[in-house]
Amino acid sequence: MKWIVGLGNPGTAYAGTRHNVGFMAVDALAKRFGISVTQSKSKGLLGEGNVAGTKVALLKPMTFMNLSGESVRGYMDYYKANLEDLIVVYDDLDTEIGKIRLRYQGSAGGHNGIKSIIQHTGTQIFNRVRMGISRPEPGMNIADYVLSNFPKSEADKVASMVDQTCDAIEYALTHPFDQTMAKYNR
């Protein structure tokens, strides 16, 4: 089974924020694949289905960003899920707004959700899709920035980025991740 974890913060107050693009991507995948992500499991919301002959699980941790690893670990333990079948989707300050970057390993890069996953899984080796939110203007607080909503002027770039993320993940369901990286890291 392939499992896709979108990182974000629960609650309507965070729904449209930069930090919640991982949730946005999972919601878009759920719509695309006809999967309902409403089952409460492993400290998150879970949905399962079949896509192109592959069993797929979509997970949105409800632990808040900094504790995302608790939900990931809980899912791994309960379902005996393999890390090589995991794809984590999250926001990235160092990637330009509207762009995505795929990686299969690396440090947390200052992202507390990824740091929590590394802590709870004991490894930095897992597939990732980083969704670009760009850095804020000099002097703006990072926490305030990532918890701010996207302005209307960025709506088209965000929508395109979510679609591209979904395309990459759908491709990764039936292709090795290194091939997916070669196709989508441009």
What's the CATH number where 161 sits?
3.40.50.1470
Count the domains in the chain.
1
- Per-residue pLDDT tens digits for 30-55: 999 999 999 999 999 999 999 989 99
Which of the residues 19, 111, 120, 175 is marked catalytic? 19
Which CA distances in Å does 76 have to 2, 41, 55, 149, 173? 12, 11, 15, 32, 18
14 is in an annotated binding site: yes
Match 């974890």 to its residue by tokens. 5
Our answer to whether residue 19 is catalytic in this structure is yes
What's the pLDDT score for residue 30?
Answer: 98
Answer yes or no: is pLDDT of 25 > 90. yes
Average pLDDT, the chain: 96
177 is in an annotated binding site: no
What's the pLDDT score for residue 186?
Answer: 80
What is the mean pLDDT of the segment spanning 41-70?
96
What's the pLDDT score for residue 182?
Answer: 97
Domain that holds residue 71: 2-184
- Per-residue pLDDT tens digits for 94-131: 999 999 999 999 999 999 999 999 999 999 999 999 99
Give the whole-angstrom CA distance, residue 160 versus residue 177: 21
185 is in an annotated binding site: no
What's the pLDDT score for residue 95?
Answer: 96
112 is in an annotated binding site: yes
State the amino acid at position 161 in one-letter form: M
